[in-house]
Structure 1
Amino acid sequence: MEVVCPHLPEEIVVEILQRLPHDSVITSKRVCKSWYDIIKHESFVSNHFHRHLKFDTNTSLLFLHGLNYYKDSLDTISYDHDHDNDHLIPYVVEQSHTIGKLLHFVRGSFFERDRIRGLHCNGIIAFPKQDTEIVFFNPTLKQFKILYTQPLLDFVSIAHGFGYDQRANLYKYVKIFQSESKYSHDDATMFRAQVCTLWINSSGGGSVSSSWRETNIILPIKNTWFDDGVVYLKSVCYWLNLSEKQPQVVSSVEQPQIVSFDMCDEKFSMIPLPSDPEVSITYQRALTVWKDESVTLFIMGKIHRDTFLIIEMWMMVVENDSTYWRKHLTIAPTIGPILEYEFLKRLDFWNQEEFLIEGRNSASYVHIMSYNIRTKRIRRLDFSLEGVELHYSTSYSKSLVSLLNN
C-alpha cells in the first residue's frame, strides 16, 4: 500500500481530506504531489461534493451588481452562523471580484443582466448571452470557460438548461427556440430544441467545445413564455411555461405548466400545475428545490390586491411513473418587511428552513428577504450598496468540479 503521509495510510488521508471545507482542500493541493493527485481525482471531487451537500445545510449566493456594464462586480456570500440576528440575515462576503479582472478575455458587457439568472449545476453556474456565448463559472475555484454557439435562422431562444447526465457522467446544455413568426402575430408558432455535450477543447485557448444536435420538442401552447428560473434536480431540468395572457382569461389549453427535460434520455415532458390554488389572480409562480430532493412550487399572491400576502408551497411527488402535487403548507405573513414590497419574486432556499424573496419597494430599491417556514421569522438581507443596483442573484452549492478537466 502506498503511504502518502508518514504515519497514515492513503484511505485515512482521503477520509480526512473529504471532511475538510472547500477552501482548505484547495490549499491542501499544494502540500505534496500525492495529495494533489488525490484531490484532483474525479471520485474524490464527486464524493466531497455529495458529502458537503448533505451536511452543509446552507447555500451560497452569487450577486451581480454595479454602476454600469464595465464596472460590474461579482460577489459571493454565505450564511454566518456565528452572528444570528432577529431582523437581518447574517452573512459573510467570501469573494468580490470585478468582472473585467475575472474575464479579461471577454468584454465586460457580456452579461444579459435583466434577462436571465445563472443556471446552476454541481457548483458550476452558466450565464447565457443570447445565442452567441455561454460562460461557465465555478465561484469556488474561480474558473471561467466560454461556449460559443450559433443562432438558428428565424428562431429565437426562449429557455436554457444546464445539467449533468448521471448515466454517462457528462455535462449537457439544452436550448429551446421559438419561431420569430410569433413576433409578427402569426399563430403558427414553431418550437425547436438543441442539446449538446460539453467538454474542454485543449487546443481552443481555454474554450468549451460542443456538438449541438436537434432533439424533439412539442409545446401545445401558442402564446407562451418561460420563466427564467430554470430548476435542476437529479439529471432533469424544469421550466415554468407561462401564458402571456392574464390568469383570468387563460383557456384550458393555455394553462401554465411545467416543461421538463431529462439529460439522460434527452426527452421533454409536460407536467400540469396544481389546479386549486387559493391565492387571488394577482399571483406569481416560481420553482425551486428543497433539501436537494424535491422540486417545490411557490404560488404567491395578494388577496383582492390588498396588503394581505399568501404564499403556497407545493411539493412535486413522483410515484409509479406518474407525477402529482401535494400542498406542503400555506404561509400568510401579517407582519414584517415582506408586506412593504411589491414585485415579489421567489429566489431559492437559503437553508432547509428559510427561503429568499426578492422585492422592490416604493423607492424602486431591490431587497432580499427571508422567511423561516418553522419559526415564521422574517428577516432582510442588508446587501444594498449606495448607488449600486442589484441585478440578479443565483444560489449555488460549493464544489471542486474543475472546468479544466474534461
Structure 2
Amino acid sequence: MDANSESLNPSDKQMARGGEKPFLHFEIIIKILERLPVKSILRFQSVCKDWNNLFKTQSFIAQHASHSYHESPFLLLHTYDDSYKRSSLLLLNQKMETVEVLSIPSFEVLSVPSKYSFNHVGKIKIIGSCNGWLCVLLCVESGPFRLLRLWNPLTREVREIPPIRWVHMCPPFSGFGFSSIVNDYKIVTFSYLQKNIEGLNYAARVVHVYSLSTDSWKELELGAVQKKGVIKGTASVDGTMAWIGYDDSFDVPLLVTFDIVTEVFTSTPIPSAVRVTIAGAYQNKFVLSGHHRESHSMHIWVMEQVASESGKHFSCSEKYSLGIPSYSFVNFCIWGNEIVFCEKERKAGVEGKSKFHLKLFNLTTKKWKEFPNISSSHDCCDGFSYGGSLVSLINPQVQ
C-alpha cells in the first residue's frame, strides 16, 4: 500500500472505489490519476471533495510530478519576434505534435521604488525550469532592477521575486534550481554592481542568491571562481546548478557549479572546444557539447560528480563524436533521452531574421530524427524539457 492510499480516510477510499460497487481497486485508480495531465487533474478537482483533497496531498503531488517529468515530459519551445515585441511558448509532445500554445501573463511590475517607472515590453527570458515552474526574467525598457518571476504555466500561478539591482553595461547570467536535501528553490544571478570604494566608483562582478524559503536575496563570495568568467548556459540537477565559464586567458573552458546546500562554487576544466554549451542533465549528470577546434565535429561529454577526500568534484568523459553540417548547429536541452539541437539558418531577404530547424540525437540508440513540422522564423529561439506539476510555490511553506 502506498503513501497516497494510507492518507485517504474511509470516505476517500469509497469514492476511489466508485461507490457501492467498485470497478477498480482504489490504489489502481490513484495510480491512473497520478499519470494524468495537470489540466485534467485541475478539472477533476470539482468531481468531489475527496478527490480535491487527494490532489493536494504531498505524496500525490510528488508522484504525479515524477511521472510527468520522467515518463512523458514536454518540449517547451520559446521563440521571440523583435518586430512585434512578442514571445511565443509552445508545448510539444513525444510525437512531435503541438499540444498547447501557452498564454503568457502580463506579469505586473510591483514592489519597486515608486520613483522608477517600468515598461514590460512583452519579451521574457526563461532562466530555467524546475518541478513544473519556470523562472523568467522580464525584459523592461528601463530601470536599474532585474525583475524575476516564478511561473507555473499550466496552473497559471505566478510568484513575484523581490527585485535585485543590476547594471545594464553587460549581460547578466542566472540559474534556477532545487535541492531535496534542504527542500528549497534558489535563484543565482551574476551581475555587475556600481560600488564606491575610497571615493572611486567602479563596476564589480558579484553574485546574489535568492532563497524561496526566506523570500530574500543575499550576496555571496565567488570563492574559487572569483577570477573565472561565467559567460553562458545553465542547467541544474537536484542540488547543483552549472554554467560554462573560462579562465582568465579564455583558453580553458570550465564547468562552473554551485552547490545549493552549501552555497559554494567550484570549477572543473573541460576539453578545449569552440562554443562549449551545456546540453542539460541526463541521469543526474551534466552533459556538455562543443565543436572541436581541430575538426568539423561536435563532441559530447558527461560530467559526473564524484566524492573524494578533499570534497566533491566532477570528472569528465567523452561519450560521442558527431559529424555536424555547420557551426550554427547548437543544442537546446536534453529531452528524455535525446539532445535537442537547433540548426540556425539565416533567412534570405529578411534582415535580422533566422529560420530554426529542430533535430534530435538519441543518447541510447545514437540515431538522429528531425521535427518535420517545426520550423520557425524568429529573432531568437530556445527550448527546455518541461514536466507539468501541481507543486505550488505561492504559499510561504515550500512544497
Q: Check whether TM > 0.5.
A: yes
CA distance in 1, matches of 2:330, 2:241: 20
CA contact (8 A) 2:359 2:368 kept: no
TM-score, with structure 1 as normaliser: 0.74
**1:54 and 2:70 equivalent?**
yes
Where do 1:167-182 residues align within 5 Å?
Answer: 167-179=181-193
CA distance in 2, matches of 1:70, 1:345: 24
**1:318 and 2:306 equivalent?**
yes
Q: CA, structure 1 residues 54+385, in 2 after alignment: closer, same or farther (shift >3 Å)?
A: closer
Aligned to 2:158: 144
User: 1:64 pairs with 58, 63, 79, which one?
Assistant: 79
User: Which shows bigger deviation, 320-329 or 7-16?
Assistant: 7-16
Q: CA, structure 1 residues 36+98, in 2 after alignment: closer, same or farther (shift >3 Å)?
A: closer
Whose relative contact order is higher, 1 or 2, with alpha carbons under 8 Å and at least 6 apart? 1
CA distance in 2, matches of 1:223, 1:15: 48
User: 2:237 pairs with 220, 233, 238, which one?
Assistant: 233
Aligned to 1:166: 180
CA distance in 1, matches of 2:150, 2:388: 14
**Aligned-pair CA distance for 1:319:** 3.2
Where do 1:327-406 residues align within 5 Å?
Answer: 327-333=317-323, 338-339=324-325, 341-352=326-337, 354-363=338-347, 364-373=354-363, 374-380=365-371, 382-385=373-376, 388-406=378-396
**Aligned-pair CA distance for 1:96:** 1.4
**Aligned-pair CA distance for 1:349:** 1.8
**1:103 and 2:106 equivalent?**
yes
Aligned to 2:47: 31
CA contact (8 A) 1:61 1:394 kept: yes
Aligned-partner residue type, residue 361 of structure 1:
E
CA distance in 2, matches of 1:296, 1:349: 8
Q: CA, structure 1 residues 215+72, in 2 after alignment: closer, same or farther (shift >3 Å)?
A: closer
**Aligned-pair CA distance for 1:21:** 3.5
**Aligned-pair CA distance for 1:232:** 0.9
CA distance in 1, matches of 2:327, 2:215: 41
CA contact (8 A) 2:343 2:356 kept: yes
Q: CA, structure 1 residues 235+157, in 2 after alignment: closer, same or farther (shift >3 Å)?
A: farther
Question: SS where residue 367 of structure 1 aligns?
Answer: strand
Aligned to 2:264: 268
Aligned to 1:3: 11
**Aligned-pair CA distance for 1:329:** 1.9
**Aligned-pair CA distance for 1:295:** 1.3
**Aligned-pair CA distance for 1:355:** 0.9
**Aligned-pair CA distance for 1:244:** 8.1
Q: CA, structure 1 residues 309+378, in 2 after alignment: closer, same or farther (shift >3 Å)?
A: farther
CA distance in 2, matches of 1:402, 1:372: 33
CA contact (8 A) 1:273 1:325 kept: no
Aligned to 2:148: 134
CA contact (8 A) 1:61 1:78 kept: no
CA contact (8 A) 2:75 2:383 kept: no
**C-alpha offsets along residues 98-157 of structure 1, whole Å, 9 cap, x if unaligned?**
54xx226466525355xxx43111111111247431122223323333324130589977
Q: CA, structure 1 residues 198+110, in 2 after alignment: closer, same or farther (shift >3 Å)?
A: farther
CA contact (8 A) 2:298 2:322 kept: yes
CA contact (8 A) 2:358 2:375 kept: no
**Aligned-pair CA distance for 1:238:** 0.9
**Which stretches of structure 1, 4 residues or longer, exceed 4 Å deviation after superposition?**
7-13, 152-157, 219-223
Aligned-partner residue type, residue 291 of structure 2:
M
**1:18 and 2:21 equivalent?**
no
TM-score, with structure 2 as normaliser: 0.75
Percentage identity across aligned positions? Answer: 19
CA distance in 1, matches of 2:27, 2:52: 15
Question: SS where residue 342 of structure 1 aligns?
Answer: coil
**C-alpha offsets along residues 161-217 of structure 1, whole Å, 9 cap, x if unaligned?**
222232332322222233569xxxx9x984432222226xxxxxxxxx832222332
Aligned to 1:257: 254
**1:287 and 2:278 equivalent?**
yes
CA distance in 1, matches of 2:300, 2:343: 17
Q: Unpaired runs of 5+ in structure 2?
A: 1-8, 110-118, 140-144, 348-353
Q: CA, structure 1 residues 226+110, in 2 after alignment: closer, same or farther (shift >3 Å)?
A: farther
CA contact (8 A) 2:81 2:87 kept: yes
Question: SS where residue 111 of structure 1 aligns?
Answer: strand
Aligned to 2:6: none
Q: CA, structure 1 residues 193+67, in 2 after alignment: closer, same or farther (shift >3 Å)?
A: closer
Superposed CA RMSD: 3.3
Q: CA, structure 1 residues 13+368, in 2 after alignment: closer, same or farther (shift >3 Å)?
A: closer
CA contact (8 A) 1:258 1:273 kept: yes
**Aligned-pair CA distance for 1:37:** 1.2
CA distance in 1, matches of 2:367, 2:179: 38
CA contact (8 A) 1:316 1:326 kept: yes
User: Which shows bigger deviation, 1-10 or 366-375?
Assistant: 1-10
CA contact (8 A) 2:227 2:248 kept: no
